Amino acid sequence: MNINKCTQLIGTVCGGLLMSLPAIPQLVMAQATTAKVNPCPRIFYEEPHNNRVLVPAGCPPNALTQQFMRQGLITPNQSGLSVGGESSSVLNPNPGIFNESPYNLSQRNSQPVSATIPQQQAVETRSPDSGLQPPAPEQRQEPSTRMALADGKANIMLINDTGADVTYQVIGDTAPRILAGKSSTNLTDLTTPVTVTFQREDRGLLMVTPKAAREKGTLEVTFKETTDVNQDKSAMIIQANGSVFLN
């Protein structure tokens, strides 16, 4: 009985050793293969990789690596470059290429590409008092009529043909006044240039028709109702030369 047990035990041990023997050469070959991998294969120095792919750290520089080193994009002691030319380290923030033509940014009074962009950039704006003024009415349109002045003064006859009251005012001369519907009034000895404003009390549209009267220095201004917004007027200017403009 003891002899049989010993025989079975020896057979089991020997069988296990025979099963593990094929795996030992494979493990040794795998380790030998891993140790023999070339970290700097020749493909890095052959086209098109020679001018397209950066070599890994520790390998002699190829054409592309040398070009980047000359331009200052990478430093000779920079490490971490992978087969695809990627780097885990920080690139040179101020490469030498910026000091070479046509990238010589110092000649253009500008900052390197890596400089921080201001959060707010100055925008040129014109202030209201920059000297730009809107053109005068006489520069935008032809005069509605012309009148002969008497010593630089004008008389204005306002005729209200509407059924509504009209508020008028001579700027710098009179306060706002009301001209009742179907009535008229005379404004005399107004020094030119002079501006007269008018508006219907009912907020309706007002057509204004100026006409030089037979009497020298007198201008007849007629107010009529209208539904055409293009004919609506609210101010009249008499220039020193007798030109009359409506606005």
pLDDT digits (tens, 9 = 90+) for 73-88: 776 655 445 444 444 4
Please name which of 42, 245, 7 lies closest in space to residue 53, comparing C-alpha atoms: 42
Length of the chain: 247
- DSSP at 7: H
Positions of E strands within the chain: 145-146, 153-160, 166-170, 177-179, 183-191, 194-200, 206-212, 218-225, 235-238, 243-246
pLDDT tens string 89-132: 445 666 666 666 666 655 555 554 444 445 544 444 555 554 55
With 80 as the cut, is the pLDDT of residue 209 above it? yes
Q: Show me where the domains of the chain are located.
A: 42-108, 142-246
Options 2.60.40, 1.20.5, 3.10.620, 2.60.270; CATH for 142-246 is 2.60.270
pLDDT tens string 17-29: 556 555 555 655 6
